[in-house]
Amino acid sequence: MNQHFIGISRPLTGLALVVRQIRFEANGINSYELADPAGAELPAFTAGAHIDIHLPNGIVRQYSLCNAPAERHRYVIAVLRDEKGRGGSIALHDCLHVQDIVNVSLPRNNFTLVPEAKKVILVAGGIGMTPLKSMAHALETEGVPFEMHYCSRNAGCVAFKEQLDATWEHGKFHFHFDHGDPANGLNIIGLLSAPAPDTHVFYCGPAGFMKACAEAVSHWPAGTVHFEHFKAPEPAAGAPVALAAGSFMVKIASTGAMLEVPEERSIAAVLAQAGVPIETSCEAGLCATCKIRYLDGDVDHRDYILSDEEHGQWLTACVSRATSGVLVLDL
């Protein structure tokens, strides 16, 4: 087999997987099937999980697993080539080939199904359908009624159409095409106007879609709405400057060491330079890989993943800043 490694030669942590298949799924979207080179079972994952992929230019990007969690022989991701993105999707489309060995992390999940749901509504915007597709497979296996509303520009932008058009015993799929004008797409407010008992909503998609969904579910009961950003939202035009833009200090609780975090650097970067490296991934407050417990101080949380309850104990070292002079880290 003519294989070569993408990224570092062996994973520091995680897995080295072979790219077994690449499929064109929709306009600009390829799926990538990853497997163990020796055919061994892969570590189990749950619906909504993602993996980190280490790209040859040093970039690490997160992609949701979109296949059925019951499948232990493969991981499948789908990637939209984004010409206006940060370069990760372009590098993956251009550099990843069948038979390559690629280094990936173990699956992690910050977007899980809830066992108490008696019905689930999945609302997907574009490539945001990937974690929701995995959820659909899991719900079908578990016998939980669900419906997926898949919003895209047109039929040519629908990924995995053949799979979604298959016979599902417990699920229904609805496709909504706006042809470039969101006003012509799904009426999200109408869809989610009336919360139903024991019904949970999961949504994922681009920034404008996420904002529309958040407004539509604002009246739903606490704990029944779940979402995941795949890209950090852009700040609103004219929004005030975030607090604590300047420098502050972090204290390492175990040693008492004091480190300055200047305005232009993250806590994670300062810790790494000081020989206290922590695992990072998205560097945008989206994945919680760099979550650290803090013991004292006031935090300006800038992540899109931790709950309000978690914010009382944890921060994300890639984006969090301080509103106090010192943050004491449980390190």
pLDDT digits (tens, 9 = 90+) for 6-24: 443 334 468 999 999 999 9
Q: Mean pLDDT of all residues in the chain?
A: 89
| 293 pLDDT above the threshold of 60 | yes
Give the CA distances from residue 246 to residues 78, 144, 176, 221, 276, in Å, rounded to whole numbers and listed in that order.
39, 49, 45, 38, 22
Please report the pLDDT score of residue 183 as a whole number: 86
| Cα–Cα distance measured from residue 248 to residue 263, given in angstroms and rounded to the nearest whole number | 8
| pLDDT band with cut points at 50, 70 and 90 for residue 60 | confident
Mean pLDDT value across residues 29-52:
97
pLDDT value, residue 23? 97
CATH tag for 119-229 (out of 3.90.1150.10, 3.40.50.80, 3.40.50.720, 3.90.700.10):
3.40.50.80
Spell out the domain ranges in the chain. Answer: 5-104, 119-229, 248-329
Cα three-residue angle 127-219-287, rounded to 5 degrees: 40
Say if residue 131 is exposed, middle or buried (CB neighbours under 10 Å; 0-12, 13-18, 19+): buried
Query: How is residue 39 written in tokens?
Result: 């055919």
Distance CA 134, CA 171 (A): 13
Whether 153 has a pLDDT exceeding 90, the answer reads: yes
Condensed to tens digits (0 to 9), the pLDDT of residues 124-141 reads: 999 999 999 999 999 999
pLDDT of residue 3: 46
Which residue would you say has higher pLDDT here, 256 or 279? 256
pLDDT of residue 234: 59
pLDDT of residue 243: 41
What is the mean predicted confidence (pLDDT) over 250-264? Answer: 90
pLDDT at 7: 45
Question: pLDDT tens, 190-224?
Answer: 999 999 999 999 999 998 999 999 999 999 999 99
pLDDT 10s digits, 70-106: 999 999 999 999 988 778 899 999 989 999 999 999 9
pLDDT of residue 235: 53
For residue 325 the two structure tokens come to 């002079």
Contact 259/252 with Cβ under 8 angstroms? yes
pLDDT in tens, 138-151: 999 999 999 999 99
CATH class, domain 5-104, is mainly beta
Q: Confidence class of residue 49 from pLDDT cuts 50, 70 and 90?
A: very high
Is residue 101 within 8 Å of residue 16, measured between CB atoms?
A: yes
Distance CA 202, CA 284 (A): 21
Chain CA centroid to CA 12, Å: 22
Q: Is 57 exposed, middle or buried (0-12, 13-18, 19+ CB in 10 A)?
A: exposed
Alpha-carbon gap, residue 154 to 272, rounded angstroms: 45
Contact 116, 29 (CB under 8 A): no
Residue 175 has pLDDT above 60, yes or no: yes
Cβ–Cβ under 8 Å, residues 141 and 49: no
Does CATH place domain 248-329 in 3.10.20.30? yes
